[in-house]
Structure 1
């Protein structure tokens, strides 16, 4: 069954839709946690097979080692030894990016290391404050308890919560009811929690790709630009990127937020097609198609800290 298209009507920037939860009548298909007292199984849907004996949770597969990255450079900045990764490109100026991996610098090939170090010293107050802010935000996220993957769990979707319903069937599949705001995940008997999480993530990514393309085309037409390619990213907290080749990537986790915040990020990245910087001209360009960008930018930071931990 194809998932229902999300409602793309403009939402109140600060609003959250109230959605009544539908009762759920199934139990998780994996084992009861150790030491817990099993409950009497509630009635199951007549449209699915009865639960079978579940297998123990499988350990999460280890992530294969990534390709070797060039070592980070170090520079003494005030009382701190600052580490940063350096990438050369065809851009005309030095670019600074701070994410969960630290400071990343993109510089033209003609720029010497001494010139890069001087640019870092010139922006040291901004760099150190942003690194501190990033560390604090990351620590706040890690302190939140992860979502408990059970029937009736609440998951963030387009700015409000949806209900997760777990069913047992002959094959793994998912469907979303936009009217009741219920995501039904059907898993084979003996499925693991990891399989459930991967199924939910795949549904999120499918919804994100479909919605983001719609909004990209809408705002690209408003701005009078064209992007050459689009793809999803899974970055920690970097919501989007745009290259000099007009290739745009958007973080699929944006699908957790309300439509106005998604539109802000899309307008932001499309504006980079005309201005590959964050100058006053860039923000004026963003304002041409998204006038409330300052409000949305601040709210996005706040909402990002409020998100539950879904996929640690």
Structure 2
């Protein structure tokens, strides 16, 4: 039988993340002063990424700044729409109240919710019961909310690592590719990435979503081993192993907006 909920202390303030080390430039685009972070690389074309930190541009070392600015102007409608979309998502997330870390709290896991059960113990321990879908957390007297959150996060990350490796093996075989290594990511708004060295990174927070959405991101990143872009050839490779990618992409965006505030 579970003991009464553990009284929790206020969490210790978390230090702000380090500043973006990439150089930032400004450009007048469509009546807006657009700021972007510029990264030089050995890639052969100019790439664009929009996340909660704004626009990031990756360009070959031989490309001039004026050519980069021209490429941004040519892509301005897509860039501005994505920036506005990110702004709306961020505003929606900030409006959500943070989850209360108490006994009985609901934690999103694999597209559904599991119940957090807290009890006092002589040592910290974590047990998950898949039949009751309860994550039981034994906490020593005086445990803080910050400690509780870190232990729940550690458990979720452990589950993510095991599951993601399994799904990567399945979809790599279907696509006929091999990746060199796999790492968990904690990116603010990027679900995955693949480097030219075939290093796959997957955001551990994907563990909150259902398996089909996880599989979509896995298929997406593995397809980059064959096509390091988002050209029609790339999407054809994704579709070869995950035909419903368009629906999954939209559903992932929707589910991400619906997530409660769990971790900083």
TM-score scaled to structure 2, two decimals?
0.96
Compute the displacement of 1:181 (Å): 0.6
Residue 146 of structure 1 contacts residue 310 of structure 1 at CA under 8 Å; is this kept in 2?
Answer: yes
Aligned length: 264
Compute the displacement of 1:66 (Å): 2.8
Structure with more relative contact order (C-alpha pairs < 8 Å, separation 6 or more)? 1
Q: What are the equivalent positions in structure 2 for 1:9-158 lying under 5 Å apart?
A: 25-31=2-8, 56-63=9-16, 66=18, 69-158=21-110
- Provide the rounded CA distance (Å) in 1 between the counterparts of 2:175 and 2:93: 35
Pair 1:296-2:248 in alignment? yes
Q: Which runs of 5+ in 1 are unaligned?
A: 1-23, 32-55
More helix by share: 2
Residue 60 of structure 1 contacts residue 194 of structure 1 at CA under 8 Å; is this kept in 2?
Answer: no
Pair 1:256-2:208 in alignment? yes
User: Per the alignment, in what secondary structure is the counterpart of residue 117 of structure 1?
Assistant: helix
Deviations 1:88-118, CA, capped at 9 Å, x for gaps? 1111100000001000011111111011000
Residue 24 of structure 2 contacts residue 36 of structure 2 at CA under 8 Å; is this kept in 1?
Answer: yes
Partner residue in 2 for 1:174 = 126
More strand by share: 2
Residue 30 of structure 1 contacts residue 57 of structure 1 at CA under 8 Å; is this kept in 2?
Answer: no
Compute the displacement of 1:59 (Å): 2.2
Give every structure 1 segment of 4 or more consecutive aligned residues whose post-TM-superposition deviation is greater than 4 Å: none
Distance 1:123 1:258, change over 3 A: same
TM-score scaled to structure 1, two decimals?
0.82
Q: CA RMSD in A?
A: 1.4
User: Per the alignment, in what secondary structure is the counterpart of residue 155 of structure 2?
Assistant: helix
Pair 1:183-2:183 in alignment? no
